[in-house]
Structure 1
Amino acid sequence: MNRKFETIGLFIVWFAVLAQLYLIIQHRQESVIETLIRFISFFTILTNTLVAMYFTAIIFKLKAYPFSILSSKGALTAITTFILIVGLVYQLVLRSIWQPSGLQYLVDELLHTFVPIYVFIYWCFKVDKLSIQPKNLIPWLLYPLFYLIFILARGYFSEFYPYPFLDVHEIGLFKALLNIGLIIVVTMLLFGVLMFLGKLIIRQRIRNGASNQLS
């Protein structure tokens, strides 16, 4: 696969993230600093930015930190898992609670629907044996763990929670923790599903390679 797939992904994801930044600043009700903190409090934004940085690192062959993390063995599978979580949570939980229009609608669909599907298709072409080994994926669980700690800690003091299913003040700590547990279970299941699919894809490639050699 040439770099056209990565280039298209880079432009689309960066456009969506930056357009969302423009929209949230344009319609802000708090200070610019508080608005920016709230902007990066959304898992959707952080994960789409992670996708954009991954494509950026691939295209420009960036090896310095933090881009070096994105070239680690389990990075693509982990990033694919997290962006699929973004898509699933939005489609199943958040889509029904508001109806964006205009540019906001376009940006929402890009961040929550198009990018997850795009990255999954890309993963299907690029997955390799090393990227689906558990030892290479487990360290990536620190990403959602640190995110949740940050959101709960900051929410305690600021009373701002980016998602209603994490809003301790509205639904209570027990239910928020229950929702977090459910998200962790879904994340682990997605890890397992991608590992299984990855093995199937790699086996099919091997079969196709053997067939081509015999023909």
Structure 2
Amino acid sequence: MKKNLAYIFAFITWSAVTIQYWVMLESTPFTLGTATLRFFSYFTVLTNTLLALYFSSQVHGHLHDSGKIWKKPGTLTAITVYILVVGLVYQFVLRGIWNPQGIARFTDELLHSLNPVLALVFWGLFEDKKAVEWKQIPYWLIYPLVYFVYTVIHGQISGFYPYPFVDLNVISVAQLITNFCILALVFMGIAGLLLGIGKKFTANVKQEY
């Protein structure tokens, strides 16, 4: 069951990223290199790609066995946290300012609405929740922190910011720091919620047996 679900979920997530890339290339005025760099400047795209890689690692044994990171308890939890943040930020912050049409709307829903649900389902079914530790949470923040720093530096050089809450062309440095702190709290809150649910679930299962 796990391998079959991973295959289906990998197909969906890879399709979403690939189609979104094609849609972007069809409408961009930039060169292929610049457009591709901007495409992968979105946390949504990077995180969906990370999720697709994880699902693929569960389908192809040689990928799973070649890298300890893919089979380490907590990896799936971390990726689930990331993609849930993608979904929540989109639903509550970005949906009102973005109105894609046609195939762009379809892939937009895959990336921001469906794929977070797929990750949560896979986490609920297959994560080794008992083995995931609270002390892992600070390490999970490294990825969004590196992304945030890169985005600010790249934005200062190119003038391009993928999201309005990091756009120093519009907001102040103080607001940028505030936004980062809020997002960090969201990441930690969702991580803590998943770990808490996972620990409670495993404790209940243990009591039943």
TM-score when scaled to structure 2?
0.94
Percent identity between the two aligned chains:
37
Distance 2:201 2:126 in 1: 10
2:110 aligns with 110
The structure-2 alpha-carbon separation of the partners of 1:33 and 1:194, relative to structure 1 and needing over 3 Å to count, comes to same
One-letter amino acid matched to 2:112 = H
Deviations 1:152-182 (A, max 9, x none): 0000111100001110111121111111110
Kept in 2: contact 1:130–1:136 (CA 8 A) = no
Q: Could you tell me how far apart the structure 2 residues matched to 1:37 and 1:177 are?
A: 24
Structure 1 runs, 4 residues or longer, greater than 4 Å off: none
SS in 2 for 1:170: coil
Residues 16 and 110, structure 1, Cα contact 8 Å, conserved in 2: yes
Q: CA deviation at 1:98?
A: 1.8
Q: Please report how far the alpha carbon of residue 118 of structure 1 lies from its aligned counterpart in structure 2 after TM superposition.
A: 1.4
| One-letter code aligned to 1:91 | Q
Q: What residue ranges of structure 1 are gaps of 5+ in the alignment?
A: 211-215
- The answer to whether the 8 Å contact 2:151/2:161 transfers is yes
Q: Is residue 130–residue 198 contact of structure 2 (8 Å, CA) maintained in 1?
A: no
Measure how far apart 1:99 and its partner are. Answer: 1.3
Q: 1:129 to 1:64 in 2, by over 3 A?
A: closer
1:30-64 CA distances to partner (integer Å, 9 max, x unpaired)?
11111111001000000000000001111102147
What RMSD over aligned residues (CA atoms) do the two structures have, in Å?
Answer: 1.5
- For the pair 1:2 / 2:5, whether they are aligned, the reply is no
Q: CA deviation at 1:124?
A: 0.9
The whole-number CA distance in structure 2 between the counterparts of 1:30 and 1:169 is 20
- Give the AA of the match of 1:100: P
Q: How does 1:28-107 map to 2 (within 5 A)?
A: 28-61=28-61, 62-63=63-64, 67-107=67-107
**CA–CA separation in structure 2 for the residues paired with 1:87 and 1:196:** 20
Alignment of 1:83-162 (within 5 A): 83-162=83-162
Instruction: Decide whether aligned partners of structure 1 residues 131 and 85 sit closer, same or farther in structure 2, where only a CA change above 3 A counts.
Output: farther
1:99-123 CA deviation, whole Å, 9 max, x = no partner? 1111001100000000001111111
Provide the C-alpha distance between the structure 1 equivalents of 2:197 and 2:175, rounded to a whole number of angstroms. 33
Structure 1 length-normalised TM: 0.91
